[in-house]
Amino acid sequence: MASTRTVRSRYRLLMSTNQTVCRKLIGNELRHAREQKGVNQDEAADHIGAKVSKISRLELGQTRVSMAEVKMLLEFYGHDPEHFDGLLTLARGANQRGRWDGHRASIQDWFRMYVDLEAGAEEIRWVQAELMPGVLQSEGYARAVHAEALAAARDPQVIENRIQERLERQRPLLDGDAPVSFVLSESCLRREVGGAEVMRTQLTHLLELAQLRSVQIQVLPFSATTYVGGASYGFTLLTLGAPGIASPLDIVYVEDYHDASYIDDNEVVRSYANQWRRMTAAALGPAESMDFIREVAAHHK
């Protein structure tokens, strides 16, 4: 059992987190508290005078949550008093408006939740199949990726803002305390984006990032003999640390051309976590991966 001082410290750290993460953490705590009490969602809804869909959305972190509702539910569940005030503090933070001005205003609506979750994650595990992950891209590579969009845009500044936002969020994430691990298909290294010079610069940038204390990069080579079904597509596993009685909350992010999926179903998340373990086992180790990246860089002439 964590000490009262430790629990309070956790909540002080979370007070500055973003709206999305606050709602997810509160929902996770409320669900665990309800299940520990043996209360179903219908009974919880009846207690606060709401529809059962309200409880479902609260527990999924999909709706605004009032401090009064949190207080009523925690009292009903007989929640541990040492976590009570902290969750109410999170409830206050969950209703503060997010800041989407400046470069951040150009971020697509479907990607904004990811940016929030990324910033609040306790651990990030990222699998990439074809192109460099955005958070690892050098400026030249990022511009090459967006070259077609820049040329076709009615307002090129919107695309320029997206490039700058991508670059600005890199260092706080990669140089922070949260571990960020990557498995990159060999395709990411060999697919030429922007020409040989851009690729050499990108791969040098990758080697520099790998020296950061929180970053681990592994390469899954074409020659890997272990069958890995997920090597043909990418996904990101984000872990949000639980402040109270709940287990850490894992969310899988899967992106396509114009949209993204955020998955927190336990069974599906476990399948992705298993896939992550298989891919890290099949990939080269971190040191061998750096040697491999140097070798590929030498071929981009």
Query: Structure pTM?
Result: 0.74
- 48 and 138, same structural domain? no
- 269 and 121, same structural domain? yes
Most confident among 83-87, 159-163, 286-290 (mean pLDDT): 286-290
- 190 and 261, same structural domain? yes
Pick the residue with more confidence: 173 or 210? 210
For the stretch 103-154, pLDDT in tens is: 555 566 767 778 878 888 889 999 998 899 999 999 999 999 988 877 777 7
User: Which amino acid does the sequence have at 116?
Assistant: D
- 112 and 19, same structural domain? no
Angstrom distances, CA of residue 132 to CA of 9, 42, 128, 171, 203 = 36, 46, 7, 16, 10
- 147 and 288, same structural domain? yes
- 70 and 43, same structural domain? yes
- 120 and 42, same structural domain? no
CATH code of the domain covering residue 74: 1.10.260.40
- 250 and 178, same structural domain? yes
Range of the domain at 134: 102-299
* Last residue within a domain, chosen from 76, 94, 112: 94
Pick the residue with more confidence: 190 or 266? 190
- 245 and 121, same structural domain? yes
CATH code of the domain covering residue 129: 3.30.870
**Beta-bridge partners for 123:** 239
Report pLDDT for 37.
86
Report pLDDT for 180.
95
Instruction: Give CA–CA dist 19/93, Å, rounded.
Output: 6
Number of domains in the chain: 2
Instruction: Give CA–CA dist 202/193, Å, rounded.
Output: 10
- 266 and 157, same structural domain? yes
| 3-class secondary structure, 255 | strand
Res 91 pLDDT > 60: yes
- 165 and 239, same structural domain? yes
For the stretch 29-49, pLDDT in tens is: 888 888 888 999 999 999 998
- 178 and 52, same structural domain? no
For the stretch 50-79, pLDDT in tens is: 899 999 988 888 887 777 888 888 888 886
Report pLDDT for 62.
80
Tally of CA atoms within 13 A in the half-sphere of 294 that contains its CB: 9
